[in-house]
Amino acid sequence: MKYYPYFIQVLTNMHVGSGDANYGIVDKLIQRDPVTGFPTINASSLKGALREHFEEKSSELVDTIFGKESKSKDEPSEPGLATFLEADLVAIPVRSNFQRFVMALNKAQLEMLNKKAERLTGKDIFNTNFSPDNALDNALYHQQGSLTYDVYLEDIKIEKKNDYQNPLKNQDDKDLFHKRIAILLDEDFATVTQNLPVIARNHLENGISQNLWYEEVVPHQTVFLTFIGLPTDEEINQRKKAVEHKINELKGKLEMAKKDEKKKLEDLLTKLEKDLKWLEDLPKTINEFQEHLQQDIIQIGGNASIGYGLTKFYPVEIQDNTNNQNQEQ
């Protein structure tokens, strides 16, 4: 299996609910990573949203990639070929007196995501050593020239101001970070990711409020990183060879089979030939899935009818560390 990394850019405010309540002012909380406490999209929520999106396109693609759901007791469910991982936070917009917002990142979080990428793909994604002076903590990177005034993100003062540098290795940033980023200390990054927008919602009946509630949202422009595992061409070819071998064996048995055995063997041969055709079409199905994933606007989370959770997926072009090390030597 090969893992493909994707950035997810949130285009409209998103609420992927955790199902938890804090018994305070906020009634509906978002999903958070159990270790870091940062906003996340759980793998099951991500898979469910993608499945719903692709159900409008092709039932065969959905069954292949996501799995076949059981429609009766006599028809068992079947797992899909893809593996979906949770989406981890990369950057989040924070209001500032410098611009309307600045994309906030954190060195420790980027290093953790690099380690995850290295383990899954053998490569890393993010720069974590910026010049000058490796000034990463509470540093602003921008394209506005020299700044003579104090810069704040909410109430966090930014001490260092430097020329913008792309936080991604080996690829254009696709304007995911709006050419202005702030690398925040761990404590400050934790603060801005905990204090997310809370929006009041109201249910009206005949113009009268019947139910007022408050829900937490991930703000638009937030960027996540996820990985989707898919079979490699080599794995598909190995499975094809195994099926072809079984077909050839079965054809030999059919020539020697007695009349009462032939029907059973012919049914089995038909099934194997159908499996072989499915394997031959599999690379095309995977390509179709990846093309739509990159081209479509995909809705994730609740409140779709009021435009919440529209997202865009971008494939990550990752840096091969092994090749770089070999070239340096």
Domain annotation covers residue 286: no
Two structure tokens written together for 198:
């809370």
- pLDDT reported for residue 138: 85
Question: Does residue 267 sit in the same domain as residue 183?
Answer: no
Least confident of 129-133, 240-244, 251-255: 129-133
Across the chain, what does the average pLDDT equal?
Answer: 88
- pLDDT reported for residue 327: 42
Choose the most confident range, by mean pLDDT, from 22-26, 49-53, 142-146.
Answer: 49-53
Grade residue 24 by pLDDT with cuts at 50, 70 and 90.
Answer: low
Grade residue 328 by pLDDT with cuts at 50, 70 and 90.
Answer: very low
Query: Residue 12 CB: number of other CB atoms within 10 A?
Result: 17
Question: Does residue 200 sit in the same domain as residue 266?
Answer: no
What average pLDDT does range 92-116 have in this prediction?
A: 96
Grade residue 225 by pLDDT with cuts at 50, 70 and 90.
Answer: very high
Closest-CA residue to 223 (of 116, 90, 30): 90
Domain annotation covers residue 290: no
Grade residue 207 by pLDDT with cuts at 50, 70 and 90.
Answer: low
Question: Does residue 307 sit in the same domain as residue 208?
Answer: yes
Domain that holds residue 127: 2-230+296-328
Question: Does residue 41 sit in the same domain as residue 127?
Answer: yes
Domain annotation covers residue 287: no
Phi (first) and psi of residue 284, to 5 degrees: -65, -40
229-239 per-position pLDDT tens digit:
999 999 999 99
- pLDDT reported for residue 15: 95
165-186 per-position pLDDT tens digit:
899 987 888 889 999 999 999 9
Question: Does residue 249 sit in the same domain as residue 205?
Answer: no
Domain annotation covers residue 288: no
Grade residue 326 by pLDDT with cuts at 50, 70 and 90.
Answer: very low
pLDDT exceeds cutoff 60 at 128: yes
- pLDDT reported for residue 78: 87
User: Which residues, at least 6 apart from 276, have a Cβ–Cβ distance to it below 8 Å?
Assistant: 240, 243, 244, 247
pLDDT exceeds cutoff 70 at 132: no
Question: Does residue 104 sit in the same domain as residue 40?
Answer: yes
pLDDT exceeds cutoff 70 at 189: yes
What average pLDDT does range 270-277 have in this prediction?
A: 94
Question: Does residue 175 sit in the same domain as residue 311?
Answer: yes
- pLDDT reported for residue 206: 64
What average pLDDT does range 301-320 have in this prediction?
A: 88
Grade residue 324 by pLDDT with cuts at 50, 70 and 90.
Answer: very low
Residues 122, 132: contact at Cβ < 8 Å?
Answer: no
pLDDT exceeds cutoff 70 at 92: yes
What domain count does the chain have? 2
Domain annotation covers residue 321: yes
198 or 18, which is more confident: 198
Grade residue 10 by pLDDT with cuts at 50, 70 and 90.
Answer: very high
Instruction: Tell whether pTM > 0.85.
Output: yes
